[in-house]
Amino acid sequence: MPLQQGTVVFKGGRELQRSLKRIGSEVARQMDAELRAGGEIVAELARNRFTMIDARSAAGFKSRTKGFGRVVVEQSRRRKTGLRPDFGKLQMRRALIPARSEGFDTVVRHLEGMLDRLGREEGF
């Protein structure tokens, strides 16, 4: 599966995962919290972009972690009427994709800082 534009990939993820398991679940929880905070940067940018179109839908953009080291920003609200079948595309085109592009550098810096901090705290 090809990577999407704006996807952050770091090498050594499996090794990091093994190390974190050896350290304990507390560090893994800290890492998940930091990843969610990084995703929240993009979610906030998306909310700001989409509020003028549909404030209720914009409020549904949430940052979640899925599995190890993966964060997503997704719509948490359910589809209401089905009267506009292209509404998901509209959210992606007008809010989520531009927010990902706009916040990409900030999120990368945030995640690098998180990895550096966790490494220092755990003696890596």
Where is pLDDT greater, at 84 or 23?
Answer: 84
pLDDT digits (tens, 9 = 90+) for 25-38: 777 777 788 888 88
Residue 56 located in a structural domain: yes
Is 72 strand, coil or helix? strand
pLDDT digits (tens, 9 = 90+) for 84-113: 788 888 888 999 999 988 988 888 888 788
% the chain with pLDDT above 70: 78
Residue 95 located in a structural domain: yes
> In the predicted model, is pLDDT for residue 24 greater than 90?
no
- The helix-helix angle for 25-50 and 13-23 (nearest 10°) equals 130
User: Average pLDDT for residues 8-20, to the nearest whole number?
Assistant: 68
Contact indicator for 61, 39 with CB cutoff of 8 Å: no
Residue 24 located in a structural domain: yes
Where is pLDDT greater, at 65 or 6?
Answer: 65
Output the six-digit token pair for 29: 């929880």
Residue 121 located in a structural domain: no
Residue 12 located in a structural domain: no
> In the predicted model, is pLDDT for residue 58 greater than 60?
yes
User: Average pLDDT for residues 64-73, to the nearest whole number?
Assistant: 81
CA distance 120 to 101: 30
CA distance 31 to 20: 9
At 8 the pLDDT is 59
Residue 39 located in a structural domain: yes
Q: Which residues contact 59 (CB under 8 A, 6 or more apart)?
A: 47, 77
Look up the domain containing 28 and give its range: 20-76+84-116
Residue 102 located in a structural domain: yes
pLDDT tier at 10, thresholds 50, 70, 90: low
Residue 91 located in a structural domain: yes
Output the six-digit token pair for 89: 């595309």
Domain count, the chain: 1
